[in-house]
Amino acid sequence: MKTKFYLAVAWSLLVCAHCQVMGQSFLKYVDPNIGTAHSRWFFYTPAAVPYGMAKLAPSTNGHYGNPSGWEAVGYDTRQNSIEGFVHFHEWQVGGVSYMPTTGPLKTKPGDLDSVNSGYRSKFDRKNQVAQPGYYKVLLDDYNITAELTATKRVGFQRYTFPAHNESRLILDIGNKQGESDIVTDASIKMLDDTHFEGYVITYPKYVKIYDAEGKVAMFFYGELSKKPASITAFNADQITENKNSALGKGAGLALNYQTKDQEIIEVKTGLSYTSVSNAKQNFLAEASGLSFENAKAQAQKVWQQQLGKIAVEDQDEQNKIKFYTGLYHALLGRGIASDVNGAYPKHGGKTGQLPVQTDKNQKYEFINTDAIWGAFWNITQLWALSYPEWYGSFVNTHLQIFKDKGWFGDGIANSEFVSGVGTNFVGLAIAGAYNAGIRNYDAEFAYKAIKANELHYKNRPVGSGKLDTKAFVEDGYVPFLERKGQDFVTDSSGSNFSGSHTLEYSFSAFAAAQMAKALGKLQDYDQFTKLSNGWRQIFNPKNKLMQPKKIDGSFIEKFDPYQPWRGFQEGNSVQYTFYVPHNPAGLIDAIGRDNFNSRLDSIFTVSEKLGFGGGKTIDAFAGVNSIYNHGNQPNLHTSWLFNFSGKPWLTQKWTRAIGREFYGTEPIHGYGYGQDEDQGQLGSWYVMNALGLFDVKGLTDLRPIIQIGSPLFSKVTITLGNGKSLVIEAKNNSNDHVYIQSASFNGAALNNCWLYRDELMKGGTLTFVMGAQPNMTWGTKTPPPSAQ
């Protein structure tokens, strides 16, 4: 099923009427160094284009990997030496590192605390430049300037050497990089004087856990600007002079040169997840004859156009830096995995072929992606607003996975299941896309896959998540399991995360119900609607909290609502009690309106003292014990619930405060303090929050609504995904004027704190008058629709 929603997508990709608001460059407001303390493997990749396969970045500690497969690794602002420049950076995917050196040959990167033990080099951040699409740094130990840029599938590296008789380029292929974990096989060989090719195959920890028969393969084809004087091959076991190929773990080549002062050597590398021949084809299609300077200019032109789809006019430079850095991370987070010819990686190292796509307005790519857990409160809303082509790629990728494997994957790396959280919101995200009018796929097939994801449990693979689906479908909630010696346990009878699973599955069931209704499947609609009320079964009317239940229907004993991980994944009962986004009115009624408002308001009052997270503790789970934790997904809708409870001015107050205090512009204080910016989710939240547009329900309503918060900027011009323009004006706005006094849409008074999304997407001008004191009558008469 297709709609007019996409008719202007291709045009909007080429032309953005607002990309030069008052001549400004949006790139100057992006600081990739923000939040680089304790950042994830895919977080810091400045030399890339939006959603590119080639994501080049310096690595300070990538060869160490990480103990659990997901923790921060790669680039850390607290570390002051670089061990290489890596091409692949995705969830559970990493490899192909290059490093220029001078002096005696070293084939190991060396230790962080002992720089001279390997080929790594010290650097000073005053000599570092990081921009969207470009990176530059001086390697102090070698006096070499390294520069990086990229096209979609080709990495460009340019090195400026000093005069030296022992200059080298180390192509380190066969070693662990970031989240990739162990290398099972690797190869690199010179094809002639200036061309090389190879591959690396890895077995990441999350593939081992969730898709044990799978693997992650990366292929490359490269071109040098200068023939090496000699070549040294190496692997984990030996070093061989005058050999032009290497195989096995630790495989690599040292390309040896004699350089003049300021001599430049460049290398361009085509990438692929399917084959060396496709890596070469990607190279020829995107980089043949393309210079480094032209590639850089091309990459930054794309960034300017994509960032400029949301054009801010405001005097507050810090807020614009937060905004455009957040938007940058949103557009960088996931990466394409398909080649220029439509080939994509299938399970077990096989190659698939995307269908021939004749409609240029609806073309999609196959993409790698971490779990979409919580992303309906940030990235999917941003996609639906101005970047529908990427929402379409996400949907079509997961429908292809369903065709190939019979199940949705919670997260995927080259078609391998890499679940991550053990639940699965893919069906909800697809239903949201359908409701938002993004429909460049077979809707009946999509619904079939959604229904299977919500209801089917026989032979369900661990990588598809929701292993307790049987219990939820049969009991209407997930029973609590607690087994000695097992921290995390989920099976067909229940889960130790039974509380959060019950709430999440209730939300997913609501989303499926809305799509079922849209397609006229009323029996399914009734079943899903009943399941969507599962949250009521674990709501304890005595303490007004979500409390896990045992299989016999009794609430668990020794219940501590502040205790994380017991019944609630990555959170606690105080946080998760507000997790009924599909029926806020029902939750408010169950708690009691006054109690709801006073409790939630006090939560934010207390949480503000900890920066709405874990304070200044540098850890992804720093706020897991808190009563509100903006650094993690389950809480991201909570500040918007006051719109439903009759006090929209408190949504205006607290959403503005979170944007001001949780988000920073420093390497350490960026997204909280070293908290987990999952592939652009926290950045996307900041963008939507700053616009004052949000949907608690994640676009899952049959007719989605948008709730209104506190618009941050004086004026924003948005190029909508349908090609139309939406202007948001905030008059009398300032850091202190956070409260809406009045509003209008296209000249007509807007008295509600919400509007239907399809009306908003017609474009026009949304105008607010702001003030320092709350207007306690605006937006209170008609609350947003809750249950449909």
For residue 726, pLDDT beyond 90 = yes
The overall average pLDDT reported for the chain is 95
Contacting residues for 42 by C-beta, under 8 A, at least 6 apart = 55, 74, 89, 90, 91, 333, 335, 370, 679
For residue 139, pLDDT beyond 60 = yes
**How much is the pLDDT for 362?**
78
CA nearest 296: which of 142, 459, 438, 129?
129
Burial classification of residue 368, based on how many CB atoms lie within 10 Å of its CB (0-12 exposed, 13-18 middle, 19 or more buried): buried
Tokens of 514: 């809305």
* 358-382 average pLDDT score: 91
**How much is the pLDDT for 6?**
38
**How much is the pLDDT for 486?**
76
What is the CA 610 to chain-centroid distance, rounded?
25
451-484 as b/e: b if 16+ CB within 10 A:
bbbbbbbeebbbbbbbbbbbbbbebbbbbbbeee
State the CB neighbour count (10 A cutoff) for residue 423.
22
Contacting residues for 291 by C-beta, under 8 A, at least 6 apart = none
pLDDT band at 32 (very low <50, low <70, confident <90, very high): very high
**How much is the pLDDT for 358?**
78
For residue 135, pLDDT beyond 50 = yes
CA nearest 287: which of 269, 264, 305?
269
CA nearest 731: which of 740, 720, 719?
740
CB-CB contact of 637 with 380 (8 Å): no
Handedness of CA 603, 607, 609, 611 (dihedral sign): negative
Handedness of CA 136, 141, 143, 144 (dihedral sign): negative
CB-CB contact of 116 with 110 (8 Å): yes
404 φ/ψ angles, rounded to the nearest 5 degrees: -75, -35
Count of alpha carbons within 13 Å of 482, Cβ hemisphere only? Answer: 13
What is the CA 432 to chain-centroid distance, rounded?
17
Strands of 273-379 (E only): list them: 310-313, 335-336, 343-345, 351-353, 367-368
Q: Dump pLDDT digits (tens) for 614-653.
A: 999 998 889 999 999 999 999 999 999 999 999 999 999 9
Whole-structure pTM value = 0.96
**How much is the pLDDT for 23?**
63
For residue 36, pLDDT beyond 90 = yes
Contacting residues for 24 by C-beta, under 8 A, at least 6 apart = none
Q: How many residues does the chain have?
A: 788
**How much is the pLDDT for 564?**
95
Tokens of 177: 């990089």
Q: Which of 593-607, 653-667, 675-689 has the lowest mean pLDDT?
A: 675-689
Three-state DSSP state, 218: strand
Single-letter residue type at 532: S
Q: Dump pLDDT digits (tens) for 667-684.
A: 999 999 988 788 999 999
Contacting residues for 126 by C-beta, under 8 A, at least 6 apart = none
Q: Which of 166-180, 482-496, 541-555 has the lowest mean pLDDT?
A: 482-496
The CA-atom distances, in angstroms, between 277 and each of 198, 273, 361, 414, 736 are 10, 11, 28, 17, 58
For residue 22, pLDDT beyond 50 = no
In whole angstroms, give the CA distance from residue 127 to residue 123.
7
Q: Dump pLDDT digits (tens) for 547-585.
A: 999 999 999 999 999 999 999 999 999 999 999 999 999
Tokens of 468: 């307790």
Tokens of 673: 């303090």
pLDDT band at 14 (very low <50, low <70, confident <90, very high): very low
For residue 360, pLDDT beyond 90 = no
Residue that the structure tokens 């949006």 belong to? 26
Q: Dump pLDDT digits (tens) for 537-549.
A: 999 999 999 999 9
pLDDT band at 114 (very low <50, low <70, confident <90, very high): confident
State the CB neighbour count (10 A cutoff) for residue 189.
16
For residue 359, pLDDT beyond 90 = no
**How much is the pLDDT for 208?**
96
Contacting residues for 360 by C-beta, under 8 A, at least 6 apart = 10
Three-state DSSP state, 526: helix
Q: Dump pLDDT digits (tens) for 735-786.
A: 999 999 999 999 999 999 999 999 999 999 999 999 999 999 999 999 999 9
- Which stretch of DSSP H or E encloses residue 509? helix 498-518
**How much is the pLDDT for 277?**
98
For residue 594, pLDDT beyond 60 = yes
Angle at 90 between CA 89 and CA 92, to 5 degrees: 115
**How much is the pLDDT for 788?**
61
pLDDT band at 690 (very low <50, low <70, confident <90, very high): very high
In whole angstroms, give the CA distance from residue 543 to residue 563.
15
Name beta bridge partners: 336: 367
Single-letter residue type at 236: A
